[in-house]
Structure 1
Amino acid sequence: MDLQVLSLQELYALRDQVEAEVVRLQSAEKIAALAKVQALMAQHGLSTDDLQKKAAAPRKPVEAKYQNPVDPSQTWTGRGRKPLWVRLPG
């Protein structure tokens, strides 16, 4: 198909047809994927509740292991990024 011979209106109409076909195919693929997922869930005895991510138990605060000798109010547990006062020599 030579697009250069089409008028502007014909190109707009062609674009609309292409967009409509893309939407139709996306919808059909989603329906097919959903059917596959439902079949797998039934095969393995799963429900939608089984797919919900379980909430992690709240973590207890960790006691600080390090204290800034210059400013004792600054502490660090030893987890996560090292504070500057730990990395830089005093």
Structure 2
Amino acid sequence: MSNYQDLLAKKAALEKQSAELDKQLHDARRAERAGVISQVKSLMAEHGLTLADLGAGKAGGTGKAPSASAGRKVAPKYRNTATGETWTGRGLQPKWVQAAVASGKKLEDFAI
């Protein structure tokens, strides 16, 4: 069986080998990527395409515009008259709504 020092030396050698392989992977990826970029540029020039033709710069690069309601505040639909807390009716029910419904009240009782 190997002693502690031998195992440490093996570990150091494997870590060095791993670092070298990571560098080789990075270099190979960079070279492959450069070749693909060159090929894409060539095809774009050949067919007269621009980045706008590809939909670049739009939301997520998908060519879709963000929805009109994205990021908008929604008016509350329900109010707890005792505390003044409100809920829009979207998403999970707040604890005060859950407790009230569990105690026998109806959701419509809190409608604004």
TM-score tier after normalising by the smaller chain length? 0.5 to 0.7
Instruction: Verify: 1:50 aligned to 2:92, yes or no.
Output: no
**How far does the alpha carbon of each residue in 1:4-62 deviate from its partner, in whole angstroms, 9 at most, with x for none?**
7xx859744564244213311232124314533x2457646453x81564684663321
Instruction: Verify: 1:74 aligned to 2:85, yes or no.
Output: yes
Q: What is the alpha-carbon distance in structure 1 between the residues aligned to residue 75 and residue 18 of structure 2?
A: 61
Q: Partner letter of residue 26 of structure 2?
A: Q
Look up the match of 1:28.
28
Look up the match of 1:65.
77
> May I ask how many residue pairs the two structures share in their alignment?
83
After superposing on structure 2, the runs of 4+ consecutive aligned residues of structure 1 that deviate more than 4 Å are 7-10, 40-44, 54-58
Q: What is the alpha-carbon distance in structure 1 between the residues aligned to residue 88 and residue 71 of structure 2?
A: 14
Please, what TM-score do these two structures have when normalized by structure 1?
A: 0.56
- After superposition, the CA RMSD in angstroms is 3.8
SS in structure 2 of the partner of residue 50 of structure 1:
coil
1:52/1:30 CA distance change after superposition, 3 Å: farther
Look up the match of 2:19.
19
The alignment-based identity, stated in percent, is 24
| Greater RCO (Cα-Cα under 8 Å, separation 6 or more) | 2
